[in-house]
Chain A
Amino acid sequence: MRRPRLSLREQPLPGGQPLAFGTGLLIALIVGILLLLAAGHEPLKIYSRMFEASLGDPDAWAKTINRAIPLGLAGLAVAIAGSMGLWNIGAEGQIMAGAIAAAWVARIGGDWPGIILIAMMLIAAVGGGGVLALGPALARAKLGVNEIITTLMLNEVAIRLVQWLIHGPWKDPDSYNFPLAPMLPDQARLPTLFSRAHFGLLIAAAVIVIASVAVRYTAWGYELRIAGSSEATARYSGISLSKKILTVLVLSGAVAGLAGGVELSGTADRLTETISNGFGFAGIIVAALALMRPSGVAVVALLFGAVQIGGQSIQTLGVSSSVSTILQAFVLFGAIGAGVFSRYRVVLDADTRSSNKELSDD
């Protein structure tokens, strides 16, 4: 029995990732034309709108950037864990935990000067996300409990916590009993850079640069990647795995928490149960597209943000939300698929062991 299998290429295809992404994107857009035609739309009109709304002018760029900020931070969170072969599926909840912590600071610091208030909110957000990741990190580091399950389950806990706060102790007394948290004080809002693009862009960029350098160029990062590629090698070289797991997962949660703080302060008026808006789950795709490399996250997040903003915009032309979502998925999976095929090839092999490194999903 010959079965298809993915095998790592010794040499990536010429042109590397960028060419692969571009090709995948083109294929996806062509498939998308068929989808749009089948749904009774004019593909060129739709694509042109998609582009104009996401990258057509400074206002459009601002929308895309504001979308890319939480996507990039969430993607970075997942990628940091992924550098060590760990899966943080809990960024969605950690974003909420970060937003809760930041909202709490905004509640007690309503009369602090803006810069101090915002700084404290963001620090609290980092702490909030880190705290939510601490349990899964400890369980994985000390007991070997699978972090995929624990981080995933804590998402549910985080959203219930937000709901409880909004329906209970943090309900705005002026909201006629509607479950709404009070609006943030004005000085708790991040300033804007241009159009509506907010200061979170610089925060996200700085954090992504720092993380990329740390993972790529420091001894700490080197150990991380060793541990990620082979546990045995890591043990043999005397790397303390459990300590690494603990720090990496908590850091991953902290970065996702920061995304929540930035989102609250940058775009939301108040704490809501939709504050994470799927960014935590989308972050997994962002990280996967960036092949778990922190340095790739920024570009992917920008592309992803543009696709989402463009995909939303075409709904105003009458494209249904489902068709738009399928189209967005085409584009992203086209790019992912091509990215994978530039590094791996499909081989048909008999039941013999191959010396090639397999694409394993563990």
Chain B
Amino acid sequence: MALLAVLFAFGMLTACGSDDSSSSSSSEASSSSSEASSSSETEEADSGPETKAAFIMVAPIGDAGWNYAHDVGRQYAEEMTGVETAYVDAVPEGTADFGNYVRDFIDQGYNVIIGTSFGYMDDMLALADEYPDVVFEHVSGYKMNETNFGNTFGRMYEPRYLSGMVAGSATTSGLIGYVAAFPIPEVIRGINAFTLGVQAINPDAEVEVIWTSTWFDPAVEGDSAQALLDKGADVIAMHQDSTAAGEKAEAAGARWVSYNTDMSEFAPEAFLTAPVWNWGPRYVQIIEAAQAGTYAPSAYWGSMAEGIVDLAPIASDVDQGVVDQVMEAKAAIIAGDLHPFTGPINDQDGNEVLAAGEVMDDGAMLGMMFFVEGVIGSTG
């Protein structure tokens, strides 16, 4: 008990100490860089509740991938709206931690909570019910309520298709490796879109998939890429959060299509291009709606035309003719003239799943659990 007493005493001491400093501005919103703390300019004298947005992420933002992309979006939103933002990262799914963080933020006056990992979904649904005055937005899930809980995602299959075109032009062995996290519709849809893009340039090339069962594990991602390289793949694509696959491709003299962000600096020789996330503008929308009191939950599935997904710059050694073709396809997708999932599309076993000329509807894409012809691997 004595040690609790010590802890308690120390707590009292620091609690008193903090009274002296509480008049200083709360400029701690961002630890990552000073440029993001425009919040320090926000005066506390505002009447009415101030809007503050908190982001909760599943892995360290230093991953250069998924979480980093969200943090870039957070900083953009802070700059554009002048709203104070904060984040916590490395918050595991399915534990009490998520709820603890959310309540901590809400206690400190945060009234927009953005969770960027799928497994937060049910916790967010319950918390949204508990805190009706707080806006909850969930990235990558499918649940929502009618008042204060919506979800956001992007049509990543559009730039995936374009990145496949670049990869198709770069392979000479005709085998492209794909290091992928989990066999869920989102990932499978990406693999299929990528493969259709590959075939648009290189009809005979095949895409071989290895499942890692992890979103972020550099060692496993690297080993999986190596296994594919050893099998003869000369281009590696991925649905992972680290740069490990690219480093293996670089070492093997192969090429690499990264994901989430432009990761060219991690493997400058290997890097071809990447389908990337651009969360900032969407976060601005959500925060501004919350600020204006007009937030209405929706199932937002943004497209390349809306800017939430994009294609990173293409490596300079890619043939200009290919670049032109990719840019043409990009313009057509943005204009609505080209849809990556347009028939005829056959599954792996050669059965027709989409007749010639037909465009796949959102429902079929969201539940996609088959591989298209040309993919080597199993969805199970």
List, in ascending order, chain B residues with CB within 8 A of A45's CB: 18, 21-22, 28
Interface pick from A117-125, A146-154, A173-181, A340-348: A173-181
- B123: nearest chain-A partner, CB-CB: A269
Nearest CB of chain B from residue A75's CB, rounded to whole Å: 15
Interface 1/0 per residue, B100-116 and A, CB below 8 Å: 11011100100000000
- A56: nearest chain-B partner, CB-CB: B11
From B7, B21, B32, B86, give the contact of A316 (CB < 8 A): B86
User: Any chain A CB within 8 A of the CB of B378?
Assistant: no
User: Any chain B CB within 8 A of the CB of A241?
Assistant: no
Measured in the bound complex, the distance between the Cα atoms of B96 and A67 in whole Å is 8
Nearest CB of chain A from residue B268's CB, rounded to whole Å: 27
Asked whether A18 lies within 8 Å of B94 as measured between CB atoms, the reply is no
Asked whether A25 lies within 8 Å of B3 as measured between CB atoms, the reply is yes
User: Any chain A CB within 8 A of the CB of B364?
Assistant: no
Nearest CB of chain B from residue A344's CB, rounded to whole Å: 19
Interface 1/0 per residue, A52-64 and B, CB below 8 Å: 1101100100010
List, in ascending order, chain B residues with CB within 8 A of A240's CB: none
Main secondary structure of the interface of A (DSSP, over half): helix
Within 8 A of A (CB), among B173-220: 182-185, 213
Asked whether A272 lies within 8 Å of B7 as measured between CB atoms, the reply is no
Interface 1/0 per residue, A241-283 and B, CB below 8 Å: 0000000000000000000000000011110111101000000
From B8, B94, B104, give the contact of A55 (CB < 8 A): B8
Asked whether B142 lies within 8 Å of A176 as measured between CB atoms, the reply is yes
Measured in the bound complex, the distance between the Cα atoms of B270 and A228 in whole Å is 57
Interface 1/0 per residue, A323-341 and B, CB below 8 Å: 1000000000001000000
Nearest CB of chain A from residue B212's CB, rounded to whole Å: 12
Chain B residues with a Cβ closer than 8 Å to the other chain, count: 53
User: Any chain A CB within 8 A of the CB of B15?
Assistant: yes
User: Any chain B CB within 8 A of the CB of A51?
Assistant: yes
User: Any chain A CB within 8 A of the CB of B95?
Assistant: yes
List, in ascending order, chain A residues with CB within 8 A of B29's CB: 318
Interface pick from A132-140, A212-220, A306-314, A350-358: A306-314
Asked whether A179 lies within 8 Å of B184 as measured between CB atoms, the reply is yes
User: Any chain B CB within 8 A of the CB of A303?
Assistant: yes
| A residues whose Cβ falls under 8 Å from a Cβ of B | 18-19, 21-22, 25-26, 29, 39-42, 44-45, 47-48, 50-53, 55-56, 59, 63, 66-67, 163, 167, 176-180, 183, 267-270, 272-275, 277, 299, 302-303, 306, 309, 312-313, 315-323, 335
6 further contact pairs, Cβ within 8 A, besides A48-B11, A317-B28: A21-B6, A26-B10, A44-B21, A66-B96, A312-B88, A317-B86
Ranked nearest first, the 5 interchain pairs of A and B with the lowest CB-CB distance are A272-B94, A51-B11, A18-B2, A22-B6, A318-B28
